[in-house]
Amino acid sequence: RKEVEQDPGPFNVPEGATVAFNCTYSNSASQSFFWYRQDCRKEPKLLMSVYSSGNEDGRFTAQLNRASQYISLLIRDSKLSDSATYLCVVKGQATDSWGKLQFGAGTQVVVTP
């Protein structure tokens, strides 16, 4: 079983609509959670960290559900520029080597005019 699993998509979203997707993780001792964005043939870029209480950054809202071991990302008022692959990233337990991150394979979002 993969440590971090995501629906690969693609999620085809009309411009201005809302899209949401989840990611599940297998290690219940995971400490930190992130969403990264990766454009085609580019490096991943940090979109936002995910906190237990849930957090919002503009049109992006992230939620963490520790009991069910999933995190979610919601994008409101989608823009064409939101088209990308969104990577769910989890840091393992504290005893892991510093900075070791586990990446999901990504969820592709395609925003259409």
Partner 1 sequence: GAVVSQHPSWVICKSGTSVKIECRSLDFQATTMFWYRQFPKQSLMLMATSNEGSKATYEQGVEKDKFLINHASLTLSTLTVTSAHPEDSSFYICSAASSRSLLEDTQYFGPGTRLTVL
Residues 23-42 as x/- pattern, contact with partner 1 by CB under 8 A: ---------x-x------xx
Q: Alpha-carbon distance 111 to 93, whole Å?
A: 35
Q: How many CA atoms lie less than 13 Å away from 14 in the CB half-sphere?
A: 2
Binding status of residue 106 toward partner 1 by CB under 8 A: yes
Q: What minimum distance in Å lies between the beta carbon of 16 and partner 1?
A: 28
Q: Is 101 in the site for partner 1 (CB under 8 A)?
A: yes
Using rule CB under 8 A, residue 47 touches partner 1: no
Please give the Cα distance from 103 to 76 (Å, whole number): 24
